[in-house]
A and B are shown apart, each in its own frame.
Chain A
């Protein structure tokens, strides 16, 4: 029964009839072929992702001095990170303030990308009727994703700088007397750049969920007398929820670990979880960097677990 359902939902994932399966058995064993096919990718993840993560955890418990790693157990990476956290109570210590800042950025970017992403996806999925147009417009949204993030960041400089287009325009229009300083190298420009770069990660999964919604459900809602708003809240949003959750996971994890956008657009002045790691590495304090990475990983993991309670990711792909 469950195979039948899966066959309907994803015909490609279940191989065909029993006769074909029997014929295959006479050749190389299928599990051997599977290993051969999936093995190389597994090895890459093992060597460059899973083992490195293990090293991050191990090294976070090592000792260090000014210029090298000392492979002996020590909690210094962590104690250095949380230095003064108890002494300074009730004020927040550096790491506490940094995480509050990171979470604040995260929340702002998440809320804005969700709003923009939802309506862009909604327009593409429900208002663009022709498949060709749908393809073309989706492509238009995707192309910037294939170009450089740094370029898309510095692209804001001529617009937001002290003598940039926005400031000179506002001055000319007589709205302000002197250029606004908070437009560039500020929290504002960081949030703007993050939204600019990563709304794409919200649009794609939400669009994917929305195109799968059976249009007759929406017509049924209208026929039953639901207003446009009621249809949106009671039919479309619940059915698009998986996409919303997946997009949210992408955006939140990207912003949590970001250090480049926050660095470039914040004029290297804004502290963030990812930036601490970079600073520690540049100071060659690897165990402290690793300890911060473990903390960041734990918090990210916590957020993802909470969100994936809402939806089963594996079912949605």
Chain B
């Protein structure tokens, strides 16, 4: 088992490589196809190379009002990201002690993750419809709707991102050495100081990971938005609408632009995490590693 690599290694390495190709191959195909010439169609071979379709998207002459949907999705993604980070870190801290309703919160998060999105989405839309009806009946007859991007839409996205945030916090604190906090307390730090100067710097790389999940999951969210977003569309909804009608590379160009944002955010987050880890390795103390 120790020297050389067993034959199974090579078999599985090929299997793994095939899986990675399966994951990325089709995506790369549409990125390439979105840079076709103006006469390009939906499939290979490429019909010339240009940025015609991408430019068309940005000029707003395409089929979608890209600018408005883009801004809506970006705004929602950023708000979801911030709330996911703050609420998950706070709740993750709470789980380190026993408290009542602990298992209710835990099972709510797990259920929210696995109850089919269409049901959650339908429920939110029913809830807001009923609220609207109540407002119309009792307070304001001309009231239109309380459903919208930052009410029902935001809530729908949070039911999807918060479970991931909470599970990441569990993973973080499974590896966290509580003696560091005790040391801070023994030295007279208040709970807030302990959190701010001891806990947070240690968990920061993973917290950025939570933010990455929060933004990207919201940016691409579709199933939960479908019934709960209200009158306006987010980018993925526009894109889904196009799948049934479009016959030219518009749709690939839109896909490429949406992915470009995702990849930028992923790169920024991973870069920051890498930098923070390196800094921790370089400047972190050797406390707790025993006497040498």
Contacts and interface: CB of A to CB of B under 8 A. Distances in A.
Interface of A: 10-17, 20, 23-24, 27, 30-31, 33-38, 40-42, 44-53, 55-56, 59, 69, 116, 119-120, 122-124, 127, 137, 139-141, 143-144, 146-159, 161, 163-165, 168, 196, 199, 219, 222, 228, 249-250, 253-254, 256-260, 264, 268, 274, 277-278, 281, 286, 289-290, 293, 296-297, 300, 304, 313-314, 317
B206 interface: no
13 contacts: A11-B178, A41-B90, A44-B155, A45-B105, A120-B16, A127-B8, A127-B12, A146-B212, A147-B259, A150-B243, A151-B239, A254-B116, A258-B223
Category for how many chain B residues contact A: 35 or more
B135 interface: no
Interface string B177-219: 1110110011000110000000000000000000011001101
A139 B108 CA distance: 28
Given A146-B266, A157-B43, A12 B173 contact: yes
A16 B90 contact: no
A contact face: mostly helix, strand, loop, or mixed: helix
A127 B101 CA distance: 42
Contacts of A222: 1
B12 A148 contact: no
B222 A38 contact: no
Contacts of B116: 253-254, 256-258, 274, 296-297, 300
B contact face: mostly helix, strand, loop, or mixed: helix
B258 A47 contact: no
A38 B220 contact: no
B30 A12 contact: no
Contacts of B127: 51-52, 55
Interface of B: 1, 5, 8-9, 12-13, 15-16, 19-20, 22-27, 29-30, 33, 42-44, 86-88, 90-91, 93-97, 99-106, 108-120, 122-127, 129-130, 152, 155-156, 158-159, 162, 166-167, 170-179, 181-182, 185-186, 190-191, 212-213, 216-217, 219-220, 222-223, 226-227, 236, 239-240, 243-244, 251-252, 255, 258-259, 262-263, 265-266, 270
Contacts of A23: 185
A244 to B, nearest CB: 16
A148 B111 contact: no
Contacts of A148: 219-220, 236, 239, 255, 258-259, 262
Contact of B90 (A38, A47, A52): A38
Contacts, number: 297
B88 A41 contact: yes
Given A56-B119, A149-B222, A314-B106, 11 more contacts: A16-B181, A38-B90, A45-B159, A56-B122, A148-B220, A148-B255, A158-B29, A258-B116, A259-B118, A278-B118, A296-B116
B122 A35 contact: no
A60 B153 CA distance: 22
Nearest to A287: B126
B133 to A, nearest CB: 8
Contacts of B258: 148, 151
B117 A257 contact: yes
Nearest to B161: A44
Contacts of B176: 11-12
